[in-house]
Amino acid sequence: MSRAATGKAGAAKPSAAKPSAAKPSAAKAGTKSAATKSAAGGQGSQTKTFTTKGGSTVTVGAGKGGGTTAGGATVGGAGVGVKVEGAGGGTYIGGRGAAGATKGSNSAVVAGGVSGAKGPGGNSAVNVRGGYANSAGYRGAGSVTAAQNRLGYTSVAARGGYAVGGVGQVGGAAAIRGPGGQVIAAGRGGAFVNGHFVGGARWNAVNGAYRGWACFRPAWFASYPGAWYAAGIATVAWLTADWGQVADYSGCSGGEPVYYDYGENVGYGEDGMVYQDGQPATTAAQYYDEANQIAALGAQTANDDWLPLGVFGVVSEGQDNPEKVLQLALNKDGIIRGNLHDTLSNTVVPVTGAVDVGSQRVAMKIEGNDAVVLETGLYNLTNDEVPALLHLASDREETRTLIRLTPPESETGHE
């Protein structure tokens, strides 16, 4: 990321990760006290409304029908819906329906559902799902989920896919919008062919180019006596951890996860300032010094309880073959340890670093090179594609991406 090209940080993005969707708070329907029943509405349908002891109003409706068309096809359908209005102001609505048709040896079915919830505090969520299948072997499905909390954060996720004849395609997209208009968006596509799932395009390209699946295993560590090693790490180095695990380990569980996207919500301005979420945060020199200070926190530790963070290929823009590979682990003092494997020279150098609990910044140094600092966010390291910033000097920095390397099934048995 050159400063001349970057300017001020572009489109600001929120520092908080996806907010949790609100769940309905309505009480479970109990005895039908003060129940008010409505008459059946139409052929094959029935609706009932009653009030629970806790004061929630529950309405349930269902219907079904079927027949034969003039062309000889048998058609049928059914649906059900429920609405719960809590005494405290929360509301939940859900509905599902399905229809099918058969003629001779051919058949097809389509189904879908909608659900939504709104809490008295302003949190809300909605989910829409649908699918289709026929006797020719075609299957298709998709869903959209949206949630908004009372603070103004909105998240939307969409997924879809199909399968026919043993081959399928899947895709997904997600976005988060902050109360100030900041947006984080991500998309991922993949394919399912003959029983194997292949991930997103960049992840797929880097994992497809990598051949070092025997690395960071017991026999490998024995061949590199200068590598960092902890008891048992050789059997778990390739495992991954989610945000809940790493937040608890590092002491960052008290706040929302922070996402660092260098060149987007963190960027260098031509005025010598570093901008975060569109606002000047500190000078470039101070930002570099902070990264150095965070990395220095990891110089010493007596805690040998290590949580593996996984193995990542370090790539530049447009690069698919990872010439450098990073294996990382985290302990309960928020200290980072690992190894940097240069696949071209076949050399291994230990890595030390730490997590700053307040900012959730992670900074690491490579043994023998004090000027270079690699930084990212702790939450970033729980993802498959990790934005990172490489400080080459106090006045020179470049962006990198860490792509999580996931061994295929045929490689998981390496020793």
> Cα 132 to chain center, whole Å?
27
Specify the DSSP element, H or E, that contains 205: helix 201-209
CA distances from 237 to 151, 242, 322 (A): 39, 15, 18
pLDDT of 297 above 80: yes
The gap between the terminal CA atoms of the chain, to the nearest Å, is 39
Distance separating alpha carbons of residues 15 and 19, to the nearest angstrom:
11
Name the one residue in this structure whose structure tokens are 């220095």. Answer: 296
Tens-place pLDDT, residues 340-387:
999 999 999 999 999 999 999 999 999 999 889 999 999 999 999 999
Beta bridge partners, 45, equal 63
At 317, which amino acid appears?
A: E
Distance separating alpha carbons of residues 26 and 90, to the nearest angstrom:
7
Q: In the prediction, which pLDDT does 116 show?
A: 82
Distance separating alpha carbons of residues 38 and 29, to the nearest angstrom:
17
CA distances from 168 to 198, 354, 409 (A): 11, 42, 20
Region of residue 406 (left: phi > 0; alpha: psi -120 to 50; beta: else): beta
Least confident stretch, 19-23, 47-51, 183-187: 19-23
* Reported pTM: 0.57
Q: Which two tokens stand for residue 252?
A: 């960052």
Q: What are the sequence ranges of the domains in the chain?
A: 109-199, 212-411
Tens-place pLDDT, residues 139-181:
888 887 877 775 566 777 777 777 765 556 566 666 666 554 4
Taking the CA atoms of 369, 373, 374 and 377 in sequence, report the sign of the dihedral they define.
positive
pLDDT of 336 above 90: yes
pLDDT average, residue stretch 97-111: 82
Q: Which two tokens stand for residue 101?
A: 């048709």
Distance separating alpha carbons of residues 325 and 313, to the nearest angstrom:
5
Q: State percent of the chain over pLDDT 90.
A: 42
Q: In the prediction, which pLDDT does 13 show?
A: 34
